Every structure is written in C-alpha cells, then in structure tokens.
Chain A
C-alpha cells in the first residue's frame, strides 16, 4: 500500500520557539493532505486541509497564523507551529488520500509527538 512518512517522530521544544513538521507521500503524489491533532484520550481532530499550489483551508477554531501550512510539492506538506506554548503539546498526524480501486483511501503518517516545555 501507499506510504506516508512524518518527520520528526517526536520533538521537545521550549515555549516561544517554532517547530516544523514534515509530511511526505513516499510512493505517490498527493495534491491534498490533511493535518490532524490528537490530545490524550481524545479523538483526532482535523486542523486543516493542505492544498498543493494554493492556500490551506483551516477548520473553525484553528489559528492559521499560528499553524502555518505549506504544500511545497506533490509529495511534501509542512506544518509549522509558531511560538509554541505548552498547550500546543499534542500528537500531530498527517494523512494523504490515494486512489484505491474506485474510491480514495486515507493513508496516515506515523505521527509527530510534540512536547512544549
């Protein structure tokens, strides 16, 4: 099946700094990728839809100036958490759709665990 990678798998940063997370589709092209966030014991919540060649679409309540998304190529989307604070500590997961038969299946990256101290 299709493979999506994320880097880094975990990161610890100090409050006020910025952190960049990369999401790559390794063996297919993805014009659209999705970014999710998951807090402990909660479900995955969609943050934004990343679109290659155009601006990302953010879900209600997600600050676009804080969570910068850049879909630089057909295989790479980046999420930058700017001026990170402890409440941004979470599990960030990306996904990319890939055609499987007559429909699309979402392939998830392994996630990035962010801890802000």
Chain B
C-alpha cells in the first residue's frame, strides 16, 4: 500500500466549477500535511498547509481528518490557471520535514 494515495484523475472541469480532491495516508504518525501544486516539467510549489481545524486561502479550502487519515482540497470558481497536478504531501516527525508525496491528481480546467 502506498504511503500517500490520490486519485490520479484527470479531473476535467469547466471554468467556474467547484472541484474536490481527496487523499489518504497510511502512517498514523504523520505530523504535517500539505497540498503542493506542480505544473508540467516544473518543481512543486507549496499551495497550502492543512490543519485539523481546516483552513481557507481564497478559493482554496483544505481539511484534515486525522481519525480517518484523510485530507481534502476544495477549489471553488475554477480558473484556467488552476490546471496543474495537485500533490498531497505528508511528513513524519518534526524539524526538517522529510516529505512523502502522493502521486498527484491532475486537474484540467477548460473554457
């Protein structure tokens, strides 16, 4: 079983749509949780951290359910520029954060 699992997609949505991505992780000792965005042939970029209380950044909302070991990302009012691969990432332990990446979910937003 992979440490971090995601639906690879692709998710094809029209502009303005709301789309949700899910992620599960296997190690209950995971401490920190993130969503990264990766454009084709580029390095991943941090989108947002994920907390149990949930957090929102503009059109993006992330949720963490530690009991179910489940993380979600909601994107409202999708833009063409949101087209990318979204990576669910967890860390074990504190400090320098050895990151464990999911395989990513590809999003394609069309006009």
Neighbour of B41 across the interface among A91, A103, A106, A108, CB < 8 A: A91
Q: A43-B104, A113-B41 are in contact. Are A105 and B46 (CB under 8 A)?
A: yes
Neighbour of A46 across the interface among B4, B32, B98, B104, CB < 8 A: B98
Whether B96 pairs with A43 at a CB distance below 8 angstroms is no
Q: Which residues of the other chain, B, contact A43 by a CB distance below 8 angstroms?
A: 4, 87, 101-104
Interface string of A97-117 (1 = CB under 8 A from B): 100000111101111010000
Contact-size category for B: 20 to 34
A12 to chain B, nearest CB (A): 15
CA distance A103 to B104 in the complex (A): 24
Neighbour of B42 across the interface among A34, A46, A110, CB < 8 A: A110
Contact-size category for A: 20 to 34
The number of residue pairs between A and B whose CB atoms lie closer than 8 Å in the complex comes to 46
Q: A32-B96, A34-B99, A97-B97 are in contact. Are A108 and B45 (CB under 8 A)?
A: yes
Q: Which residues of the other chain, B, contact A46 by a CB distance below 8 angstroms?
A: 98-100
Q: Which residues of the other chain, B, contact A81 by a CB distance below 8 angstroms?
A: none
Whether A104 pairs with B96 at a CB distance below 8 angstroms is yes
Interface string of B69-111 (1 = CB under 8 A from A): 0000000000000000001000000011111111110000000
Q: Which residues of the other chain, A, contact B14 by a CB distance below 8 angstroms?
A: none
Q: A32-B96, A49-B98, A106-B97 are in contact. Are A93 and B43 (CB under 8 A)?
A: yes
Whether A108 pairs with B43 at a CB distance below 8 angstroms is yes
Q: Which residues of the other chain, A, contact B16 by a CB distance below 8 angstroms?
A: none
- For residue B54, CB closer than 8 A to chain A, the reply is no
- Chain B residue nearest to A105 (CB atoms) is B46
Mind listing 8 A-B residue pairs with CB under 8 Å?
A34-B99, A43-B101, A44-B87, A44-B99, A91-B41, A93-B43, A97-B97, A113-B41
Chain B residues with CB under 8 Å of chain A are 4, 8, 32, 41-46, 87, 95-104
Ordered nearest first, which 3 A-B pairs have the shortest CB separation?
A108-B43, A43-B103, A43-B101
Chain A residues with CB under 8 Å of chain B are 32, 34, 36, 41-46, 49, 91, 93, 95, 97, 103-106, 108-111, 113
